[in-house]
Chain A
Amino acid sequence: MTSPTDTRRTVVRLLWPGRRSAAALALAILITTVLPLLAPQLTRRFVDDAIAGESAGRLTVLAVGYLGLAVSGQIARMLAAWLASRLAWDGTNRLRESLAAHALGLDMGYHGKRTPGEMIERVDGDVVALADFVVAFLLDVVASLLLLVGVLIVVLAVDVRIGGALLAYCVLIGLFMVRAQRLAVPAATRVRERFAALFGNLEERLAGAEDIRANGAGPHVVRRFHQSSAEVYRADRHAERLGGGLFAGTTVAFAAGTALVLGLAAWTQQSGALSVGTAVLLFQYTQMVRTPFERIIDQIQQYQKALAAVTRIGGLFAERRTMPEPENPRPLPETGPLSLELAGVGFAYADDDERVLADVNLALAPSETLGLVGRTGSGKTTIARMVLRLYDPTEGVVRLGGVDTRDIDLAVLHRRVCVVTQDVQLFAASVRDNLTLFRPGLADDDRLRAVLTEVGLGGWLETLTDGLDTVLGAQGGGVSAGEGQLLAFARAFLTDPGLVVLDEASSRLDPATEQHIETAIGRLLTNRTAVLIAHRLSSLARVDQIAVIDDGRVVEYGPRETLAADPDSRFSRLLVAAGVRRESQVIP
């Protein structure tokens, strides 16, 4: 397990902008701090000189000097803000990318339990909260702290006793703030969690809006939304109360500090050791202490949010793959069909005792094809996912080309094994990107067109106004389910896999279209090992072996010819079930 300090270090490392940028930023912030510190020195002179009756010209020079300092201070602040936000965005972009990369590397067991909306909140929402905070932190907290230190030094130089009192007070307030902040963090975390859940649910409902409308469940969904919102409110109220109490307490404590300094000033001045101008100076400096402190406290709420975000980011980073990359990966042949072997494979989800697969033994020589048959939910898809190493078996071993899948580099495995599933996943991106999955070097446009024609989408491509550049809607908007499935086939044609898994791949195609790409599938499977899952037995006419799966076990396994010829085999009974009605049916 990774400790919180480690993940925090990871976050900081990703945010660090590099030495030179950091130095430039530090300089900008330093200037932003020093300029306002000089201004009260001029007002002190101004007051003392005015009381002493100095010339109007001298007073005017002081006033103009004050103006120059103040205005350049503002400009410096703006420059610092610009620099800080640039660097903060660079850093948080790195963080967001690294989080996305980490999350993408997690196995399907993790993704199966999370909605895309939740992932948005965790990969983007938390990072945005952090980005906002980093900018504010550099400008408000760091600059304010510097200003505070500067003020303390100057006041100490003016009067050691008053300076000492101020210093002691600042330390006390600081300690109080740090303690109070610990109290408020869990509350802020809860608010964020409720928020994430609210939007996770919302995202699902919006994606399923048509199902909800057509089944008249709209008002019910809105009602549920109100219930979730009430939970957000309760968490928010609790967090705000805590945060507000903290703010109020700090304000009061600070006022007492100011009063203390002013009281001391009055006392010292009574004895004549302090000029009126110096008293004004002290007052101005205490006023200057007030603003940074308020800014810092203001940022505490942000800090709580950011800390909660960092905790959650750390949590995501701490999610370990259940399937580690091999330490000494063993190579797979770069070309040619791969053999496949499942030896005594069993599987259960980590949080679940129920065994999804038990004692599965299957063996395919290179170029052989296997058909998996069984009821829905019998475990066919899980077997396919084992082959793709989306899960590791809890018992037994899966071998590709004779190598344990756990010893194969994942990138190599995914290059050599390819899958077409019934759930086609399309992106709101160009046709080209949907085919190549954003890999520009994968194939040139001619190849893409050829492949689309090969799967029977040539005509479809011609109807598109921008050709390969046409942007498809998300989740396949503007593309029928059948067309989507053809696109998924086209994806498979673009690589040169040694093993192909077709998981109910043609379930959304009508027979005419399926026939159309039969030849294309035939070409895809030529000289390739393949695992076919299909509920339509006609799709299995080409396979060499059949395995009938029931309740996670292989209940029948053998060459298709043999099984089909044996009237007592389960497979041939399934064929009869499909064929019986055909005999009684009227063919005109």
Chain B
Amino acid sequence: MVAVRLARFDLRSYVAGGLLWAAFLVVPLLTGLVLKALFDQLSGHREATLDASLWLCAIFVAIEATRGAILWLALTVWPRWWNSVATTLRANALSSILTARGPAATRLPHSSGEAVSRFRDDVHDVAMLTDNAVDLFGAVIFGASAFVIMSTIDPVITLVLVLPLSVVLVLSRVLSDVIRRIHSRARQLGAAVTAFIGETFSGVLAIKTAGAEEAVLERLREHNRRRRQAAVKDRLAMDLLDTATGATVELSIGLVLLLAAPAMRRGDFTVGDLALFTSYIGWLTALPRIVGRMLYRVPQAAVATERLTRLMAEHESADHLSRRTGVWFDGDPPPVLEEIPARDDPLKVIEARGLTVRHGDSERGLEAADLRIERGSFTVVTGAVGAGKTTLVRAFLGLLPVESGTVSWNDERIDDPGTFLVPDRAAYAGQVPRLFSESLRENLLMGWPVDDPALDRALELAALEQDLAEMPEGLDTVVGPRGVRLSGGQVQRATAARALVRSPELLVVDDLSSALDVETEQLLWDRIADAAKDGRGPATLLVVSHRRAALERADQIVVLDRGRVVGTGSLPELLRTCTEMRRLWDEELVVEAEEQKTSASTH
């Protein structure tokens, strides 16, 4: 199914390229006929002069030249189809991960390295099936024509030749299940190596500073050993099939010799006929091999399609993966967003009810959490480590799959928070800030259609304008992988600016201040709060924090303890009524008392 749809992505290239490939495979029919004529002349079966023989040689060259030209043409057309298919599949999967309804968190494999291996290898496997279909088409035409020509010469021998070829087909079918299993395992272990290498290099700092290089390499060796075993087995299984088909074809030539012996003695079967038969059988080798490969590609592509489909949203199927969404190889793709979409339902109140999240089978998660945020309010979510603060925010924004619970916007239930709570309704700065290897401007805008003054305002709100002024290339500074060349605080403020530039009605910030120094942190909250008041920035704020700076500003605090909301209200209220809040606050006081003592001694 998917294979057929792939052909249609760029039908013109597929048909043109496919016909050329087929022609390339069919031309040897003529070669065989020329050879037959030549050998009949040589054996004296047909009267001829040396000149006639030489002419046949020239024709032979001409035919081969045509074959070469056809191949070159095919190769100039084919990349367009191949790249269209690969790009469309990848873009569809990527688009689903980044834009489809429903959370993406559970769909992505453990490591991004393994995800990359799906985008690379599985897409290749799927496309290869459709690619090989062309070979099959050409080989079948050749095979059918060759059988017709051969049976006019000697029907009995031709008929006998069908036998070994059928054996190969049956064998392929029988082996295909085993091959599928072996291949899937080899692929899995290969992905494990890729993933481990990826993790090693994203955690290179930890490894180096711990001096654990040798231990990590030992683990890599272990992964490698297991992969080797699986890969060799995979290869052997493939070769077994190849050998079976190859041996069968050799068997066919032997059979021809055996059966033709009496006819040749009689002179009914000429040397030219023998040349034609051996020539065709040589090319017919391709037929069972191509069919065999096809039989092997089908399960391989099925495995790959399944793995790719797992990247798609729950409501999506392989059809969504393989739908034709277009590629732009010659010009730029159309711009995504030219102006900020107009909304007619400004935020009055947003509310979550009974949000419940479970992480696998462990007990940690979120249990029936309620959260109500009014326009213009400052809400802080607080709690101890592992209390579920980040989980609450991510579930609220639809980034995590929830077991139960609803989120409503102005008292109307939101169907899919993940696609509804986006700019300019809401924007989000996560706890682990992610920047990409692009210019700072691209990292901040990411396609959001605003001009530089708006960008400058966001940078100022995020207290990043001074840092920027010190960068020689300003907004065009290319940020290293994940923003490594920026300091932790700069990266965090940059992600805040990314959210702010979208002028959301609701700004959601998960522990933005964790890498900020005292002065910068205070500056940032002052600016964001001022902007909220006079309408230059997001009016409504939802912040995860355990800092006094944030807690003191809050209109409303939500206290979490081991996945449950244990208190909601203003700080003074909660300090009266909520034990957990009091505990957190007291600890905070103890921590800061030291500071107070030190600073008091200066007065």
Contacts and interface: CB of A to CB of B under 8 A. Distances in A.
A178 interface: no
Given A74-B243, A93-B224, A541-B595, A577 B518 contact: yes
Q: Size band of the A side of the interface?
A: 35 or more
Contact of A81 (B236, B264, B336, B481): B236
Contact of B271 (A119, A244, A258, A280): A280
A262 B499 CA distance: 76
A450 B575 CA distance: 34
B384 A510 contact: yes
Contacts of B225: 93
B595 A43 contact: no
B236 A214 contact: no
Given A104-B207, A240-B75, A280-B275, 7 more contacts: A86-B232, A103-B201, A116-B113, A209-B104, A211-B434, A214-B428, A276-B43
B60 A262 contact: yes
A515 B591 CA distance: 7
Nearest to A191: B79
- From B116, B243, B265, B384, name the one whose CB has the most chain A CB atoms within 10 angstroms: B116
Nearest to B109: A474
A419 to B, nearest CB: 5
Given A241-B75, A511-B591, A208 B232 contact: no
A86 B427 CA distance: 53
Closest 3 CB pairs of A and B: A220-B447, A376-B489, A244-B75
Contacts of B293: none
Contacts of B418: 213
Interface residues of B, number: 201
16 contacts: A85-B235, A85-B236, A119-B198, A124-B194, A220-B446, A233-B329, A263-B57, A376-B515, A425-B202, A473-B110, A474-B112, A476-B432, A481-B511, A514-B587, A574-B518, A574-B519
Nearest to B336: A219
Interface stretch (B171-179, B213-221, B302-310, B346-354): B213-221
Given A124-B197, A464-B362, A70 B221 contact: no
A511 B467 contact: no
A299 B599 CA distance: 75
Interface stretch (A264-272, A311-319, A325-333, A357-365): A264-272
A553 to B, nearest CB: 14
A59 interface: yes
Contacts of A46: 257, 261
B422 A511 contact: no
Given A117-B113, A511-B546, A202 B94 contact: yes
A103 B95 CA distance: 33
Contacts of A512: 384, 546, 583-584, 587-588
Given A216-B423, A574-B518, A248 B71 contact: yes
B152 interface: no
A166 interface: no
Contact of B599 (A63, A124, A576): A576
A267 B50 contact: yes
Given A209-B108, A284-B278, A422-B488, A414 B480 contact: no
Interface stretch (B245-253, B366-374, B405-413): B245-253
A213 B98 contact: yes
Interface stretch (A48-56, A142-150, A397-405): A48-56
A114 to B, nearest CB: 6
B286 to A, nearest CB: 11
B599 A214 contact: no
A252 B235 contact: no
A252 B65 contact: yes
Contacts of B591: 511, 514-515, 536, 538
B596 interface: yes
B332 interface: yes
A202 B382 CA distance: 34
Given A204-B437, A223-B447, A251-B68, A114 B481 contact: yes
Contacts of A266: 38, 41-42, 50, 53-54, 57
B451 interface: no
Contacts of A63: 254, 257-258, 261
A585 interface: yes
Interface stretch (B83-91, B125-133, B136-144): B83-91
A512 B383 CA distance: 9
B327 interface: yes
A581 B592 CA distance: 12
Contacts of B235: 81-82, 85, 135
B522 interface: yes
- From A97, A258, A480, name the one whose CB has the most chain B CB atoms within 10 angstroms: A480
Given A117-B112, A279-B39, A464-B362, A564 B602 contact: yes
Given A212-B98, A262-B57, A287 B282 contact: yes
B527 interface: no
A388 interface: yes
A152 interface: no
B1 interface: no
A219 B337 contact: yes
- From A70, A82, A209, name the one whose CB has the most chain B CB atoms within 10 angstroms: A209
A504 B201 CA distance: 22
Contacts of A488: 206
A536 B517 CA distance: 7
A112 B201 CA distance: 10
A588 B329 CA distance: 66
A67 B251 contact: yes
A210 B105 contact: yes
Interface in B39-69: 39, 41-44, 50, 53-54, 57-58, 60-61, 63-65, 67-69
Interface string A107-146: 0100111111111100110001000000100000000000
Contacts of A481: 390, 431-432, 511
B565 interface: no
A331 to B, nearest CB: 16
A124 B193 contact: yes
A237 B80 contact: yes
B207 A437 contact: yes
Nearest to A578: B518
Given A114-B201, A508-B514, A226 B333 contact: yes
B505 interface: no
A58 B321 CA distance: 62
Contacts of B590: 511, 515
B384 A513 contact: yes
A16 interface: no
A535 B521 contact: yes
Interface string B514-532: 1111111110000000000
A423 B205 contact: yes
B216 A537 contact: no
Nearest to A205: B436
B279 to A, nearest CB: 7
B240 interface: yes
B347 to A, nearest CB: 16
Contacts of A201: 436-437
A144 B576 CA distance: 87
A460 interface: yes
A115 B481 contact: yes
- From B243, B279, B502, name the one whose CB has the most chain A CB atoms within 10 angstroms: B243
B231 interface: yes
